Structure 1
């Protein structure tokens, strides 16, 4: 099936996405800014927002950091149409507690909530809280067991589970299923264990920004894996720089790239606290880009027509949820809505059809 393209944004949970020292975007990760940003995104026609989860700012511990789940609950009450996707690191919440939180926000939002499971890369965030930071493949084993419990609880099933990490006895949550069977499940991560988890339990696989041919290969790999239920759908992160001409876009790209290089100390701090086995870091190291989670590696820098064409190519490859980043965020988000979204109208409005 080919589905209409949905376009979303990243919430500014830890401020700027490309460079922290940008005179055009002073650092601000406050609730007030994020609330206003997401309400405006909704009014501009964006379809979803990803609220990444960090309890400790991953760039610098004295910088502000938005908390994902309390913010998502508030956003659920403040918004009317946009989908709210809250990221979750399984090590931080017992599955019973998280499933209850998810079903509550699902009710508050009137069926506009989703969870995004990420198995964590920031060792410091976990270990400094006195918890065990499991090694890469074990984190996915833990996350798979954790998510299997959450998924059943969100459906309203009575769960009895005896596993390697969790024991749950005769547990059932109420209310559930008021708008639909359960909230959708997005999963991030690109390693082989991550892909197994996606094939087993995800509704949407969230892929980090990278060249089109890489994305096509990743999609083909997951589509070929054994799967029960509806086919996996695919999302992609990308940092967008769009201008009237390609030369203008490249000029802005190089401005941000120069500013990003001034963050060398911050990037060194992040690398020191990152599990070297994380696939995202290996992928990002192969490309010069700005932005997080692949940034501009997907090629969304250019004229309005060029950016729209590249996004259409990703959609043709199977991407039906595009999560965008910008800097400075608000004016660039408006620019994209004004100049690029209209060029994407044919693939945003189309109905599902057989591939």
Structure 2
């Protein structure tokens, strides 16, 4: 493995990641909590944070919701090492305006910023704002053109673009390229159009949590697609429950599972607003798990040694960036940093020493 493993976290943009009603984690999606969370994650050694984008809370309209791009700018100013990844739904921002915001946050962060393009699953969020929620495959065509405009503007190119969805005449953004050619581009989605977009335009493909064999097949599929430039890198989401023993971890898992089953109204609300063509929802329906974006279906529930070994297996399969979720978030994030991160480093060192010499 010549790619180092990077461990990141999900920001709590809409509060709890596994179950809404948890006595150990009262609901809180505030800026103050997220700021403190990310600053602590940086101090603990986490490498990146994903700030998902929703304008309205996807679980219930009365719940608080952190705004991704203003929060990311503020996080960029208050951190010093951690990568800030801000998700973006292309239909919410014109590419010229978004590219300017991205280059500004890149400057604020000193070259630690990334965008995560997601083509959206929440129909209500878009249509209730008076915007067009295109059908699944057209959203990817729209997103591909949108991203091609943003990418060139972030590079500082003078752009003249006449496309299906956007017309941009002799546009150039400054400053640009102060720290590197442009911010990193992550892309989410697992449908065939999403994989085409990843192969054509992404630096990193962000895969939702699922079993190892699924992830291996997804990586092989994208690696086999036509590609110009550097190879695609891969990230994975997972919800982690790690304890001293497997039995303790399973007990913690069952607690969250029972709490999550109480959220029937939330699940009905999400289902009613979800485009049924979204691949993520189809995949998630196959597995019992807790957490969002695949949750625990990747198998990261167990003893500290078991969880470290499973993450090492994903790393060996090609996963470079692991974005973790926890509940209650802060104490479990600390537990992971204290008990699992050192085991991952030891596993990596042992395997590096044990690798056969090429001399």
Query: TM over 0.5: same fold?
Result: yes
Q: Which residue number corresponds to residue 257 of structure 2? A: 257
Tell me, in whole angstroms, the C-alpha distance in 1 between the residues paired with 2:127 and 2:115: 24
Matched-pair contact (CA < 8 Å) for 1:305–1:340: yes
Alignment of 1:94-243 (within 5 A): 94-243=94-243
Moved over 4 A (4+): 346-351
The 1:61/1:216 distance shift into structure 2, 3 A limit, reads same
> Could you tell me whether the CA contact under 8 Å between 1:5 and 1:348 is conserved in 2?
no
SS at match of 2:251: helix
> SS of the residue aligned with 1:24?
coil
Matches within 5 A, 1:22-61: 22-61=22-61
| Counterpart Cα distance in 1 of 2:314 and 2:58 | 29
Question: 1:45-84, CA deviations, whole angstroms, 9 ceiling, x for partnerless residues?
Answer: 0000000000000000010000000000000000000000
CA distance in 2, matches of 1:348, 1:229: 28
Give the Cα separation in 1 of the matches to 2:204 and 2:343.
25
Q: Which moved more, 1:339-348 or 1:188-197?
A: 339-348
Cα separation, 2, equivalents of 1:346 and 1:6: 15
**Superposed counterparts of 1:258-337, under 5 Å:** 258-337=258-337
The alpha carbon displacement at 1:345 in A equals 1.3
Match of 1:7?
7
Residues 197-218 of structure 1, C-alpha deviations (whole Å, 9 max, x = no match): 0000000000000000000000
Number of matched pairs = 353
Partner SS, residue 205 of structure 2:
strand
Aligned-residue offset at 1:2: 2.8
Q: What is aligned with 1:85?
A: 85
Q: Which residue matches 1:74?
A: 74
Q: Distance in 2 between matches of 1:7 and 1:301?
A: 17
- CA–CA distance in structure 2, aligned partners of residues 307 and 63 of structure 1: 32
5+ residue gaps in structure 2?
none
> For residues 153 and 346 of structure 1, do their structure 2 counterparts lie closer, same or farther at Cα, with a shift above 3 Å needed?
farther
Unpaired stretches in structure 1, ≥5 consecutive residues: none
SS in 1 for 2:71: helix
